[in-house]
Structure 1
Amino acid sequence: MPDTALADSPAPDATAAAAKGRGLLGGRIPLARLRDLALVPAILIILVVGYIVSPVFLQPDNLLNVLQTMSEIALLVLAQTMILIVKKMDLSLESTMGLAPGVAAWLVVPAGAGHGLGLLPGGWAIPVTLAVGALIGVVNAVLIIRFGLNGFIVTLGMLIVLRGALTGISGGQTFFRLPPSMLYLGTTQWLGAPASIWICLALFAVAVVVLGWTSFGRSLYAIGGNVDAAKAAGIRTDRVLWIVIVTGSLLAALAGLLLSGRLASVASAQGNGYIFTVFAAAVIGGISLNGGKGSMVGAFTGILLLFMIQNVLTLAGIPAQWIGALNGLIILAALIVSRITGGKVQD
């Protein structure tokens, strides 16, 4: 759109981008739903292969274990998906997943018995975790939005800073003897399933509704499609970007809380390397790295497929070291399929 466009003028580029990315809206509902369910056949195939490899695969306990383990990284995928849709990127999510609960553990775990300082009562653990996550998001947003710095470089720098900070406050050791408040979400069961699974499903359901049926969701796709056109259409792009970046960091902090609760500890390396799995899930789930395209259903099926494959490989006795290579191959395969089916590579 020309730079002379008025704020109240139609913005066809923004409208087209929103309509293209909304997924479940407008006259393209059947095609959008088909794209959302593109990985379902692959998931069904993995279910059959998994049963052939080991009958244990389809046992409820194993499937619940897969879902619980997946739910923690799935929150990172949810966060990264929102950020990618607005054509940004946050590499620091994995370090936020470690530092946020790490700071909480550092402050609430008794001194001399778990490597903490014991400065706060255990009930403060969850608020501190979420506050640290929000603060990290605010810092990222200030640098990216207010100062106009490159998001990739900013979050790469934050990843290194946060990782170093966690190593520093923990002394390279693991926080343990966590208070009950930090253990609850990672250990309790609701209606016969781990609470983390229900939390993950609920948050993805909310995200599907927000992105598919609200003006805020349409704004995300419009910004990712063409930020200048979105501004011309009257969208407060900076405010939307602030919300997305801070929310992403909050979700990463919550993911860290779930992981810490399940493991009953916070390791100095918690979250390291998770970002590769996050991007693998996003790419195979149809999220465009160019912004303005993708859906939460696709992102969810992407991370589900990855964890099912990993579980099948584990049951088959394949060394865990090969799983990283598999994720890389899946990303490459997804790019090739995207090129063949859509005519564009999601680079």
Structure 2
Amino acid sequence: MLRRARELALLPALLVLVVLGAFVNGSFLTEANIISILGSSAALAMVVLGEALVLITGKFDLSLESTVGIAPAFGALLVLPASESGFGLRWPFGLALIAILLIGAAIGAFNGFLVVRFRLNAFIVTLAMLIVLRGLLVGATQGKTLFGMPNAFFALATDTFLAVPMSVWLAAIAFLIAGYVLRHHRIGRSLYAIGGNVDAARAAGIRVDRITIGVYVAAGILASLGGLIQTGYVGAINANQGQNMIFTVFAAAVIGGISLDGGKGTMLGALTGVLLLGVVQNLLTLAQVPSFWIQAIYGAIILVALMIARLTTGKAQD
């Protein structure tokens, strides 16, 4: 119950923020603003989901923020004509979507291969990949902002069902599936076993290497979808898309109860972490707090979350 207290504590915290928001600005509790919070948090939710799965196995993936930029950017370059800074191939959106997902999967597979087969440090490997992919994105786009993609490129963020953006439905379904797998499927139990004690997991017959690489692939695909959602939300792709996003991703995961030591955390906790940060950002915007303070506040939230983790679990994080 002490471990559960860390993630369940976010629910009353969300309630407090909602009440505070109602006092800060009368438009906070309107339907339009609530949908705006959900829509703006959808891309972050997809990336947090991917990072949470990696963290549960006891690994890291810092390169997800660059995947958010480079995967949809290459998809756009395949679609756009040469006159609009594209490759001039004019691929249909369906093929470009497959390419976007494959790019995310390939990045994840490469990261997983280096970490699993070469036994390289996951933090350093993915940090290097973050830098490499960021450079590739700037080079491929020549530092320009890409416009003129077909409307289908923005559909996840612009199309709605029951007045809610499709991106929100997609994120909700992804979290439901991940939560079910982690709780009821042997693969989900294997992730916790690997993160808890990798040697014991091997001894139990779990295919540690295969599952770990698979988690990196899944995280890359989720990040590419998050990038596509972000593209639709912004309406364009610039050479800095996703930059510094990883700090917010870790903030959401950590305050949601995902352990940096591996083997602990739930999708409910990760999702509430995303919603908490979404509400915080919306409140700061409505209160007209300068945007450059937001990252500082996120950092403070991470520190508080780590202290809460220390008190609720009784275990220091290495």
TM bin, normalised by shorter chain, reads over 0.9
1:144-183 per-position Cα deviation (integer Å, ceiling 9, x unaligned): 1111111111100000000000000100001110123312
Instruction: Give 1:118's match in structure 2, choosing from 66, 88, 95.
Output: 88
CA distance in 2, matches of 1:262, 1:283: 25
Look up the equivalent residue of 2:171 and give its one-letter code. Answer: C
The number of aligned residues is: 317
Aligned partner of 2:90: which letter? L
| Match in the other structure for 1:241 | 212
81-90 or 262-271, larger mean C-alpha shift: 262-271
Which residue matches 2:317? Answer: 346
C-alpha displacement at 1:33, in angstroms?
5.8
**Which whole-Å CA distance do the structure 2 matches of 1:330 and 1:72 have between them?**
20
Which 5+ residue runs of structure 1 have no aligned equivalent?
1-29
Alpha-carbon separation, structure 2, partners of 1:341 and 1:32: 6
Amino acid at match of 2:148: R
Question: Do 2:258 and 2:265's aligned partners in 1 also have CA atoms closer than 8 Å?
Answer: yes
Q: Contact 1:79–1:249 at 8 Å: present in 2 too?
A: yes
Query: Scaled by the length of structure 2, what TM-score is found?
Result: 0.97
2:98 counterpart (118, 127, 136): 127
Counterpart residue type for residue 137 of structure 1? G
What's the CA shift for 1:261? 1.8
Contact in 1 for aligned 2:109/2:214 (Cα 8 Å): no
The residue type paired with residue 236 of structure 1 is R
Q: CA shift at 1:186, angstroms?
A: 2.0
Match of 1:174 in 2: 145
Q: Corresponding residue for 1:185?
A: 156
Pair 1:149-2:120 in alignment = yes
- From 249, 252, 275, the equivalent of 1:281 is 252
Matches within 5 A, 1:264-275: 264-275=235-246
**Aligned with 1:138 (options 106, 109, 118):** 109
* Alignment partners' CA distance in 2, 1:176 and 1:229: 51
The equivalent residue for 2:194 is 223
Letter in 1 for 2:74: V
Contact 1:122–1:180 (8 Å) recurs in 2 = no
**Which residues of structure 2 form unaligned runs of 5+?**
none
Give the Cα separation in 1 of the matches to 2:148 and 2:213: 36
TM-score by length of structure 1 reads: 0.89
Q: How far did 1:36 drift? A: 4.1
Alpha-carbon RMSD across the aligned residues, in angstroms, is 1.3
Shift of residue 120, structure 1, vs aligned partner: 3.4
In structure 2, what is the Cα distance between the partners aligned to 1:125 and 1:264?
17
Alignment of 1:296-315 (within 5 A): 296-315=267-286
Distance 2:5 2:313 in 1: 14
Equivalent in 294, 302, 307 of residue 323 of structure 1:
294
Q: State the Cα distance separating 1:335 from its structure 2 match.
A: 1.2
For 1:322 and 1:345, the matched residues in 2 are separated by: 29
Sequence identity (%): 50
For 2:2 and 2:316, the matched residues in 1 are separated by 19
Q: Which has the larger radius of gyration?
A: 1
Deviations 1:40-99 (A, max 9, x none): 000000000000000111111111111111010111100000000000000000000000
Which deviations, in whole Å up to 9, do the C-alpha atoms of 1:4-34 show, x marking residues without a partner?
Answer: xxxxxxxxxxxxxxxxxxxxxxxxxx77765
